[in-house]
Amino acid sequence: MSVTEEIRKKATLWLGKEFNEETRKEVQDMLVNDEKKLVDAFYQDLEFGTGGLRGIMGAGTNRMNIYTLGMATQGLANYIIQQCGNTGIKVAIAHDCRNNSSYFAKTTAEIFAANGFEVYLFESLRPTPELSYAIRLYGCQSGVVITASHNPKEYNGYKAYWDDGGQVVAPHDEAIIDEVRKITSVSDIKFTGNSENIKIIGAETDEAFLAEVIKMRLNPEVIKEAANMGIVYTPIHGTGIKLVPPALKMFGFNNIISVPEQDINDGNFPTVKSPNPEEPDALRMAIEKAVETGAELVMATDPDADRLGIAVRNKEGNFILLNGNQTCVLLIWYILSQYKEKNKYKGNEYIIKTIVTTDLLHNIADGFNVEYYNVLTGFKFFAELIRKNEGVKKYIGGGEESYGFLPGEYARDKDAIASCAIFAEAAAWAKSKGKTVYDLLLDIYVEYGLYKEKLINIVRKGKEGADEIKAMMAGYRNNPPATINGSRVKTLIDYDKQVSRDLITGKESPTGLIPSDVLQFILEDGSKISVRPSGTEPKIKFYFSVNTKLESAEKFEATEKELDQRIADIISDMKLQ
């Protein structure tokens, strides 16, 4: 794209006196010296979507800065006033370790204060789940966390929450977007107001949050026996350092080994290629430390500490990485097994998973006679369901394949703090039985079936790429394959049309979920393929799940290879690689 007159006109507006000197200087430099950067910064407006804002930091309408953030905050404030009146409104604000996060959080607080709100602002960086908890603790109508999760260092973001501590869902999400779009000028933003409306919070909120986390502990006596079990933990430069080590110590673990270079809060993430616990490199230094110290368990959390990565020792004593499905399976199985062992069931318990998370969780829930729910991708749907069931049914755990888990109702977003502590407890429990976590995973596979999953992303950039992705979805939706890898397609679930269709009998049934552009093919051999365009990136995601019976732990490797080959054959048959 060349620099059009419209882009240059938009950029020139940012030279006005309502913008600060730093911003004006950066825009002027782009106008004179950097055409490509100018186009990227102004060719569109950074969109406030159902998940808030996320973008590269810098000056411009398509960048994350105090002005795009300010317009989002003013729109959100206007909506809150519409819904709740203009007196007695309270909001909570937290931020992660990223560059400018503290600045963005303070700016957000000042805008809310200028709108007459009482603001609870964390004194320094804090995990996202603690923000979720604080909203309910302080009786807030809304909240914001400044984070771009595990994105590269150039990014930052803004996530909006409602009064239940969950990210906003319908009808609030679209209504907030409408209000944000009405803010068309920086002059519409109330940047300055009464600073006395801002209350700084910190240690007292940490203590209250950890008091809820400790309630998730199920086996203090087992932990006592394994108190010196070596656990390496890394926050990957992020907020987890604030609460994960204290939570582990509260649970009763004494031998928590740090990776000093990664304990340092640094938005440049200097020790990793990506601060993403899904990436093997993010856990490399922690695994090296575990090998050096003889530790039994490795844990890592992403910058805002809502997702966790785990490494455990295999039969040979070497560390292997668990994927998000495996971590979720182990946590759910452990919680359900202990509820049963300790006669804690009341008969109204349930778990939640997303539609692209392993169906092994269904088998486990059925095995313990516990209700389970499938929801669309995103923990906001967990929060919505927990709110709906509150006081009637008890949520005891749930997670997603993308490394997120929540073990109780105290927060309404995924929480790596409590998840780390409970996973360590599960490892201690396994040890008390003469087993490792790896042994435990194989036992689960033998009892409930071996499930193997794989995710591939196909990137298609630009308008042509977006059109190609739409065409792919239309093709799968309107002309579904009769067979995949020699197995007949038994069921097509179209979440956008909210219909599950038996392709053999033609019988249809509702999904029971709101529309979402996701397709699933269920094959006669039990394989499942899910297809979903990304909502934030120029790519389409394919999730593959296959399964079979595992006769014994000794046959795990051979059986796993068979499933790996089945996935490879499915991918080849669908001509995806």
Is it the case that residue 2 has pLDDT exceeding 80? no
Distance, CA of 150 to CA of 54 (rounded, Å): 11
Distance, CA of 442 to CA of 435 (rounded, Å): 11
State the CB neighbour count (10 A cutoff) for residue 519.
Answer: 19
Q: What is the mean pLDDT of the chain?
A: 95
Which residues are known to be catalytic? 149
Distance, CA of 375 to CA of 446 (rounded, Å): 27
Residue 563: its pLDDT value, please?
Answer: 98
Distance, CA of 92 to CA of 198 (rounded, Å): 10
Which domains are seen in the chain, by residue range? 1-39 (no CATH), 44-201 (3.40.120.10), 210-441 (3.40.120.10), 450-573 (3.30.310)
What's the whole-model pTM score? Answer: 0.95
Q: Does residue 367 contact residue 361 with C-beta atoms inside 8 Å?
A: no
Q: Does residue 330 contact residue 426 with C-beta atoms inside 8 Å?
A: yes
Rounded to an integer, the average pLDDT of 211-239 is: 97
Distance, CA of 170 to CA of 184 (rounded, Å): 24
CA distances from residue 207 to 130, 198, 242 in whole angstroms, order as listed: 11, 21, 11
Nearest to 512 by CA among 349, 413, 388: 388
Beta bridge partners of 254: none
Residue 3: its pLDDT value, please?
Answer: 67
- Tens of pLDDT, residue by residue over 247-291, are 999 999 999 999 999 999 999 999 999 999 999 999 999 999 999
Residue 304 binned pLDDT confidence (cut-offs 50, 70, 90) = very high
- Tens of pLDDT, residue by residue over 86-123, are 899 999 999 999 999 999 999 999 999 999 999 999 99
Rounded to an integer, the average pLDDT of 162-176 is: 94
Distance, CA of 503 to CA of 505 (rounded, Å): 6
Nearest to 331 by CA among 416, 257, 394, 433: 416
In DSSP notation, 151-179 reads: S-TTEEEEEEEETTSSBP-TTHHHHHHHH
The helix (H) or strand (E) run that includes residue 144 is strand 142-146
State the CB neighbour count (10 A cutoff) for residue 222.
Answer: 19
The helix (H) or strand (E) run that includes residue 250 is helix 240-251
Residue 535: its pLDDT value, please?
Answer: 67
Is it the case that residue 527 has pLDDT exceeding 80? yes
SS3 393: coil
Is it the case that residue 314 has pLDDT exceeding 60? yes
**DSSP-derived pairing of the beta strands 198-201 and 118-122:** parallel
**DSSP-derived pairing of the beta strands 499-502 and 508-510:** antiparallel
Please write down the long-range contacts of 265-268, taking CB distance under 8 Å and 24 or more positions apart: 265/97, 265/125, 265/237, 265/238, 265/239, 265/241, 266/97, 266/237, 267/97, 267/98, 267/99, 267/100, 267/101, 267/153, 267/237, 268/99, 268/153
Q: Does residue 78 contact residue 181 with C-beta atoms inside 8 Å?
A: no
Q: What percentage of the chain carries pLDDT values higher than 70?
A: 99
Nearest to 265 by CA among 248, 240, 246: 240
Residues in the chain: 577
Nearest to 238 by CA among 348, 124, 337: 124
Q: What is the CA radius of gyration of the chain?
A: 24
Taking 3-state DSSP, the helix, strand and coil percentages for the chain, each rounded to the nearest 5, stand at 40, 20, 35
State the CB neighbour count (10 A cutoff) for residue 339.
Answer: 18
- Tens of pLDDT, residue by residue over 122-141, are 999 999 999 999 999 999 99
Distance, CA of 206 to CA of 212 (rounded, Å): 10
Nearest to 130 by CA among 272, 219, 238, 271: 238
Residue 577 binned pLDDT confidence (cut-offs 50, 70, 90) = confident
CA distances from residue 413 to 321, 378, 410, 537 in whole angstroms, order as listed: 24, 9, 9, 22
SS (H, E, C) 463-511: HHHHHHHHHHHHHHHHCCCCEECCEEEEEEEECCCCEEEECCCCCEEEC
Residue 568: its pLDDT value, please?
Answer: 97
The helix (H) or strand (E) run that includes residue 199 is strand 198-201
**DSSP-derived pairing of the beta strands 90-95 and 53-56:** unpaired
Distance, CA of 136 to CA of 158 (rounded, Å): 19
